[in-house]
Amino acid sequence: MTSTLNRLLETFARIGATPDGGVCRLTGTPEDGGARARLAAEIVSRQLGLLVDPIGNMFGVAALAPSSQEAVIVGSHLDSQPTGGRYDGVYGVLAGLLAVEAVAARAAAEPGKAKRNLVAANWTNEEGARFQPSLTGSSVFAGTLALDAALGLADGAGVTLGEALAAIGYRGTADLSLAPRRYVELHVEQGPLLEEKGVEIGIVIGCWAARKLSLVFHGEPSHTGPTRMARRRDALRAAARAIELHHCLVELGGSGAHASAARITVDPNSPNVTPCRVQVWFEFRHEDAAVAVALGDRFLAEARAAVASLGVDIEIAVDERRGTATLDPHGAALTAAVARELGFSAMEMKTIAGHDALALNKRMPASLIFVPSHNGLSHNPAEFTDEAALDKGLAVLTDVLWRMVTEE
């Protein structure tokens, strides 16, 4: 029998569905608006209070303890990558909503037990696919990104995040007034470890570091036909040389780092003009922040040397350094205890991917719970986690939230 959670996942998978079975719901698009509207209806139908803040974060508020100003928040995100799967982010939003509903029902049946309130959240622009940086809404809520700066982020066409949210009706005005005590996020792993080890629940205790570099290669436009080769200053050729160097540093270095060069823009992008400006987004990820930083430094030095003979200059447009972090030890202990009592196997692990929990951990103790991903696929239409695994994650989440709202 299909669970309520899986029926909801099927419903949301149709919003922004792609022909290959995935979803594309970029922040501020009509597809994002459609998913938000459906989530708003689900929140209201469960008699929760609906709030939308100025950066578009959505909250479903369960007033379990009206005399308390404290709240536990649970959630994730509805936006996706262009090649998104049907579980990344949305699973945590919908499981969070159902967990809030279940905890609210239990609180009503056991009056006086709840010591604080409970809030289900959808955070704006977690993915950072259309607007950079990622983790936007949760960073504004955490106080580490200014609201005006976030609203002013522009996509490739010059549309700002504020304009995009207003266009779909989700540039809100109602800040969450409750004081956050803890945050919990349930997510598919997006990696292979749980499946490889045959473990049902991942207890995330920390994260890898990341060094993200956006480099601009400056050359000179010239005709691709008659311009002599020695005269050309080809920015795209320089970028290609740097991309290969970037991967070789990781593949041959043996550090265990992960690296990517996953986005590129070319100007003037004409087949008859040598590219004069090329921007490439590079990143290094490693469990040790010092290794990620050192790889970035070495790459910058070697890239400049490698392209010098081509007459191309390198400008650093972005140099973002995300350090490692330790997530809430109390939340991890609660998750371990709940998994054990429910008879589910569990293991501690670190996340390599970024999540809203990491941004929110800077304001409140945050917990992150994983369930397995088949073949470790994510940001891919073939992303898959079976129904039983999804329901186990929901069961753990529900009990963890009950303990968090009732404990002294």
- 156 and 149 in contact (C-beta within 8 Å)? no
- Does 77 count as an annotated binding residue? yes
Which residue has 């290094």 as its token pair?
A: 284
- Does 386 count as an annotated binding residue? no
CA 382 to CA 7: how far, in whole Å? 18
- 245 and 284 in contact (C-beta within 8 Å)? no
The region that residue 226 occupies, defined by phi over 0 for left and psi between -120 and 50 for alpha, beta otherwise, is alpha
Nearest to 213 by CA among 307, 130, 322: 322
CA 289 to CA 305: how far, in whole Å? 25
Tokens representing 139? 């960073």
- Does 348 count as an annotated binding residue? no
| Residue 120: strand pairing partners | 60, 74
- Does 247 count as an annotated binding residue? no
CA 101 to CA 86: how far, in whole Å? 22
Tell me the residue type at 19: P
The region that residue 143 occupies, defined by phi over 0 for left and psi between -120 and 50 for alpha, beta otherwise, is left
Neighbouring C-beta atoms of residue 143, cutoff 10 Å: 11
CA 86 to chain CA centroid, Å, is 14
321 φ/ψ angles, rounded to the nearest 5 degrees = -120, 115
Would you say how long the chain is, in residues? 408
Annotated binding site for Zn(2+): 77, 88, 127, 187, 379
Annotated binding site: 77, 88, 127, 187, 379
